[in-house]
Amino acid sequence: MACEKSNNTPVADTAAQTCPNPKAADPAKPKPCCVCLDEKASRDECLLLWGQDSGKCDDMITKYKSCMKGFGFSI
57 a known binding residue? no
Measured CA distances, 10 to 19, 23, 30, 39 (Å): 11, 20, 28, 44
C-alpha angle 62-25-2 in degrees, rounded to nearest 5: 160
Of the CA atoms within 13 Å of residue 25, those in its CB half-sphere come to: 8
Q: Is 36 annotated as a binding residue?
A: no
Q: Which residues are annotated as a binding site?
A: 33-34
Q: Which residues are annotated as a binding site for Cu cation?
A: 33-34
